[in-house]
Homo-oligomer: A and B are copies of this chain.
Amino acid sequence: MSTAKSAEPKIFARRESEARSYCRAFDTVFTKACNATMIDAEGREYTDFLAGCSSLNYGHNDPDMKTALIEHIAGDGIAHGLDMFTDTKQAFLETFESLILEPRGLPHKLMMTGPTGTNAVEAALKLARKVTGRTEVVAFTNGFHGMTLGALAATGNQGKRGGAGGIILPGVTRMPYEDALGEGADPLDFLETMLDNPSSGIEAPAAFLIELIQGEGGLTAASPAFVRRLASIAKAHGSLLIVDDIQAGIGRCGSFFSFEEMGVEPDMVTLAKSFSGFGLPFAGLLLRPEHDIWKPAEHNGTFRGNTHAFVTARIALEKFWADGQFQAEIAEKSALLTERLGRIAGMIPGAKLKGRGMMQGVDVGGGELAGAICAECFANGLIIETSGAHDEVVKVLAPLTIPRAQFEAGLDTLEAAARHCAPTNNTSIAAE
């Protein structure tokens, strides 16, 4: 952290806990934001390639959601209603059913969990255990599922786990994600071998909990074949399949859900981040009707069903998911992203493209280089972060709604930063 020229007002050092984090990399005070642009207190504009870690897939302050939300507030619409019935919840559910669930043939019901992703994961794990009568859940290497104790047990990151202060993180068996064993070894062979061996010490789990693209874990994307085989193993062993779509869902990877067109139908799907459309705290759990054995309030929480979020989430669905146009735009931008990141990867020896859709990045081989590139970007007005076990992936999470010109300009900044920081950079420059 550069302390000399820090823009950090003293109140933060004085009164905000050291747990604060993004503010250290992006050391300025932000005041306004619109679509893909953030503005700081000194009027400087930044292009946002972080998008609230995929919480702002529709950009900052979408004008239609803004209008509807202001109208709701101005008209004394319910702001907080626990889990009572409200007109806003009703309208949201009807829209969610007609625009998302029905067209995809999903019979699922929605559980309004506490408005955080980790809470949706906790609800999913509880329910899977209740439904199956089993306690172990299989989670995968490099998975990130949240920070409360139940979800943290499923999170691989050692630093995050260490934050629990030494208490046991129970109920999770770890299995290798698709890429974890290197070339030629299929982790699902391993998984199946373990489950088929009654003396392996690893029993059929309550559920498999998986992100189809690992948002924090380095943007590794599971292949459709892997996901289909996992679903089939789950079925064979009476285990539920839970797709954690908190970061990869809501259009981020090209379709509303990350598992579409993979030929699987998860038993549960966790949603959060961009689910509200506007960046408001909101989360939910999709679950099959036959698994809906919850007793009233058996999992509850004060802020379950954020009413402001119902308003904006409904508008988001109506505006972006009523037809295929938005998805086509994402596909186009995704292709551009692949191409541009490929160029960047080409500049760095050993670099690899990661992810899919608008959730792609470049594994530059190490955290130091990735961090340097992101810092250089920020110095040039681009907000962008790393991902991966070693922070080795430069991750592009632009709003899906980013104007193409701004997207390209941001990618130019990124490319320049990569060129600036890449180990072969000096040589290249010399060659020019």
Contact = CB atoms under 8 A, between A and B. Distances in A.
Contacts of A163: 126, 130, 294-295, 298-299
A109 B17 contact: yes
B300 A21 contact: yes
B112 A20 contact: yes
A350 to B, nearest CB: 17
A217 interface: yes
B115 A76 contact: no
Contacts of A61: 73, 76, 79
A217 B199 contact: yes
A198 interface: yes
Contacts of A155: 201
B297 A142 contact: no
B198 A167 contact: no
Contacts of A52: 80-82, 302
B150 A149 contact: yes
A362 interface: no
Contact of A149 (B84, B148, B198): B148
Contacts of A82: 21-22, 50, 52-53, 55
A83 interface: yes
A388 B12 CA distance: 40
Interface stretch (A170-178, A314-322, A353-361): A170-178
Interface stretch (A86-94, A258-266, A331-339): A86-94
A119 B116 contact: yes
A392 to B, nearest CB: 11
**Pairs A-B, 9 closest by C-beta atoms:** A80-B279, A129-B165, A149-B150, A17-B111, A156-B201, A148-B148, A199-B389, A21-B297, A19-B294
